[in-house]
Structure 1
Amino acid sequence: MEEQIAALTAELAALKDATAGLNKTTAETFYWLTIPLMVLIHAGFLSYEMGASRAKNALASGIKNILAFAFIIPTFYYAGWFIYWAFPTGFSMTPGPIGTSGLEYALAAASPVGPAMGPNVADSATGVFFGAFAMFAATTASIMSGSLIERVQIVGFTILAIVLGSFVWILGAAWGWHADGWLVTALGYHDFGASGVVHAIAGFFTLGVLINLGARVGKFNPDGSANAIAGHSMPAALVGLMLIIAGFWGFLMGCVIFPGEAWSWGTGIFHSIYGTPVTLSAMTFNILMGFAGGAIAAWVLTHDPFWMMSGALGGIISVAAGLDLYWPPMAFVIAVIGGLIMPVVARFVERMRIDDAVGAVALHGVVGLWGVVAVGIFAAGYPALPAEGAPTITLFGQIGGALVMAVLGFVPGYVVSLILNKMGLLRVPKQAELIGLDKVKVPVEAYPEFFPGGIPAKTPAE
């Protein structure tokens, strides 16, 4: 009898080890798969920006997008990942209530010369988490990229991309997208799908840059009226926007915490970054409703295919912050409002003589803020954290968090671009802009069979 009990005990222990191993590799694979899905976002931005550019600038627009992606990976490795774990409680780098923050924790978990940041068979989580967050970082730079097309210097843009992707947005994430973040613990801030910490920060950073960069040659007339400067390929822009939306499934997939691991919030169910429960089922309802509501609203308002697809993305951004909480019909209404806000704000920005080539300030900046505030309107009262006595979501907390995100984005964007402008590193010379950046900056031609010599005819705006 004792031998049978011992055998059963050993068999049970082996079964538990096998189950734990399977859960560990499943969790690792889950986050591994978010990374190529999020790369689709960047393939989408690449197509979107090249299509939105005139033919004479198509390759230059694509090259700067790829360079931003490439430069953010090492700079996020050396700085950004550390910032996320070191600064949730503020600049003091003290530990927060959960204990997964502060200088000591960051040195252990995110030091670029430490054992966690390299091959380590005992750690199957850090690398894939880093990869997912690096994709978030690169997304912020891509959001900015399209707005600056056809007149920004590649060097200046790359510096701006590094500042935004590896320093600015991740500080906002530490404050509002971390269970120890002071916006969460003090205000009950809730931003599940990063409407604020990614989209709003990137949108308002872009606004600060655009003020110093100035408009494209021919965009505005002396009386302040604006000329339309059409891109050379609307189909490429639309395909790009659809790829971005496909990639956002990976982006939002990366916003959940897998169950059953030492670093998980619990077993049996996914949780948000804050430790509150969420299911992929609920997310699926609301992502699809967000897509539909934004696309329908923007199409009805504009009858423009560009704004229709931008509206689909704007609808998802509108519901992203509360994706884990909304009832699907509510998500649809919130997305409709976002789809209606976006083109109206874009026209206002243009009337201010700011040349936002793809509407990122409206689509990501203002709609991102709407997504954050909407949680305070439609989901107030939910607990912001799982701990007893934790703060709840409130309209005041969401508005406060939204303002922090806007300021955190705008001020560095304005200051860094102002410095670059003073140094002559922000904008290309006028003659280069008129000839086309592909001719000046790129050693090959995008469409040699259509434009021999690489210089297409000027548009009426020029």
Structure 2
Amino acid sequence: MVKKLLVTLGALSLVFPAMAFADDPSGKSLDIGINSLWVMIAFVLVLLMQGGFILLETGSTRMKNAGHVAGKTIFTAGLAALIYWAIGYGIAFGGDGNGFIGWGNFFFNPGYAGDGEGVPQSVFFLFQLAFAAVSLSIAWGGFAERAKLSSYLIFTVVFIAVIYPVVAHWIWGGGWLAEDGAQDFAGSTVVHLSGALAAFAATVLLKPRIGKFNKDGSANEISGHNQVFTALSVLLLWVGWFGFNAGSTLAIGDGFFGYVGFTTMLGAGAGAFAALLISWAVLGKADITTTLNGTLAGLVAITASCAFVEPWAAVVIGLVAGVLIFFSAKFFEKIKVDDPIFALSVHGVAGIWGTLANGIFATQELAEKVGVGQGGLIDTGSWKQLWVQFESVVVAGAFVLAASFLVLGVMKLIMGFRVTEEQEIIGLDLSEHGAYGYPEQLKKAGQNNIQG
């Protein structure tokens, strides 16, 4: 009996090393340790969202490009880690900059341990890196099925080194929009809108996929090859979003991270419900793709406001996002923008709505708790926060759009970044990598079917 007791106590001392905190009666070290563990778990959840993006883009496109989609996502995520370490983190969070750009901490070396005052910088770096990688993966929606592999390499370097970090600094790194009180708790603008506008620039410059539009302007449906992949991707992204939003509290503390997760769930559910109903009402059938995109739109929209709004408002935000995604997708198709994975609607339009929603629904109590901005129009009767939200969307969006058009335009002029017509018809698996993601398709390589 005594032996079992000693073994049990020994195990508990490993799990909960109280002796390590004996000289810290306040429990500060224990709080830091627990918070650090939580943020590290959140980082893992956000990083695993890359798996969701692989399945989302693969399922939404043709099987002749499946291996390319999966491989380039892993490759660019790895390259993003190196670029963010060398340059991007310093631009976003470097302490020697100003309101417009961070500076310092290049080739970041956080040391072996924290400073005893908060989450260790190494953990914070990893968490922020995962956000940057998500924004980059959103951008790839505009490249889908027609961009050269080399274009992914070059744009990754520029986007992660400069474009994304500048916006992150403005809103999260103590920049001028942060000083104005811009509320974007987990990145409806910083992450999602930035990625979507980069995708838009790529989509416009690359032009539509072969066979997408007819000469009279009418659109052909180029179906994705695996709707089960797409549905599974939404579930993976949904789970990862709890690291995305709730992890942004950077602490467990009084349990506020649970409230953030709660509003996140409501926004997602409302987005799925509204998208299903609107597609059913307009099309006469409940469209699965619209429902899946509505779920993601609800998540994107609630990302900015998850810590600032009451539950009923989270539902409203998700409902509006679910409706917007349906009409937005129709609009982009009408103006001949070929967006294979609906990045512009899901991450762009919903990102704008989610950011603006704070100016309407944020409460003064929650704004004070988070320590950013003030309550929105309904709670305070003031238009100030809505104006700040509008300002952040316009300025950040204009910067990303202009920078992306500039970089991609130069790439197009100098090297070209769309594959040839023959390569596109064969598929990027074979033309860019020499092998199919689905090897059994090799025997069909001569068929050159648009549906792949």
TM-score greater than 0.5 by the shorter chain = yes
8 Å contact kept, 2:142–2:201:
no
1:38 aligned onto 2:46: yes
Aligned to 1:20: 28
Could you tell me how far 1:167 is from its partner in structure 2?
2.0
Taking the TM superposition and a 5 Å limit, the aligned residue runs for 1:389-428 are 394-428=385-419
Matched length: 417
1:154 aligned onto 2:149: yes
Name the amino acid aligned to 1:335.
Answer: G
Structure 1 unaligned blocks of 5 or more:
1-10, 94-101, 260-267, 271-278
Could you tell me how far 1:85 is from its partner in structure 2?
2.1
Task: Summarize the Cα distance change of 1:59–1:378 in structure 2 as closer, same or farther, 3 Å threshold.
Answer: same
Name the amino acid aligned to 2:314.
Answer: A
One of 73, 86, 90 as aligned partner of 2:99 = 90
8 Å contact kept, 2:295–2:322:
yes
Name the amino acid aligned to 2:445.
Answer: I
Aligned to 2:443: 453
Taking the TM superposition and a 5 Å limit, the aligned residue runs for 1:130-209 are 130-178=125-173, 180-186=174-180, 188-209=181-202
CA distance in 2 between counterparts of 1:255 and 1:361 reads 24
Could you tell me how far 1:201 is from its partner in structure 2?
1.3
Structure 1 length normalisation: TM-score? 0.83
8 Å contact kept, 1:213–1:417:
no
8 Å contact kept, 1:111–1:117:
no
One of 228, 234, 238 as aligned partner of 2:231 = 238
Deviation per CA, 1:124-152: give whole Å up to 9, x if none: 71111111111001001111113321101
1:72 aligned onto 2:106: no
One of 256, 278, 287 as aligned partner of 1:304 = 287
Could you tell me how far 1:16 is from its partner in structure 2?
1.9
Aligned to 2:379: none
8 Å contact kept, 1:147–1:206:
yes
CA distance in 2 between counterparts of 1:255 and 1:240 reads 22
SS class of match (2:437): coil
CA distance in 2 between counterparts of 1:283 and 1:13 reads 30
SS class of match (2:355): helix
SS class of match (2:158): helix
Whose helix proportion is higher, 1 or 2?
A: 2
SS class of match (2:225): coil
CA distance in 2 between counterparts of 1:390 and 1:149 reads 38
Aligned to 2:266: 289
CA distance in 2 between counterparts of 1:177 and 1:58 reads 35
Name the amino acid aligned to 1:65.
Answer: T
Task: Summarize the Cα distance change of 1:384–1:280 in structure 2 as closer, same or farther, 3 Å threshold.
Answer: closer
Could you tell me how far 1:384 is from its partner in structure 2?
5.5
One of 53, 63, 67 as aligned partner of 1:55 = 63
CA distance in 2 between counterparts of 1:12 and 1:32 reads 21
Identical pairs, percent = 27
**Which deviates more, 240-249 or 127-136?**
240-249
Task: Summarize the Cα distance change of 1:13–1:214 in structure 2 as closer, same or farther, 3 Å threshold.
Answer: closer
One of 353, 359, 368 as aligned partner of 2:342 = 359
Structure 2 length normalisation: TM-score? 0.85
CA distance in 2 between counterparts of 1:390 and 1:207 reads 30
Name the amino acid aligned to 1:409.
Answer: V
CA distance in 2 between counterparts of 1:80 and 1:345 reads 32
Name the amino acid aligned to 1:405.
Answer: A
Name the amino acid aligned to 2:77.
Answer: F
Name the amino acid aligned to 1:285.
Answer: F
1:221 aligned onto 2:204: no
CA distance in 1 between counterparts of 2:213 and 2:390 reads 34
Point out 4+ residue stretches in structure 1 off by more than 6 angstroms.
385-392
SS class of match (2:201): helix
Task: Summarize the Cα distance change of 1:203–1:390 in structure 2 as closer, same or farther, 3 Å threshold.
Answer: closer
Could you tell me how far 1:391 is from its partner in structure 2?
6.5
8 Å contact kept, 1:176–1:184:
yes
SS class of match (1:212): helix
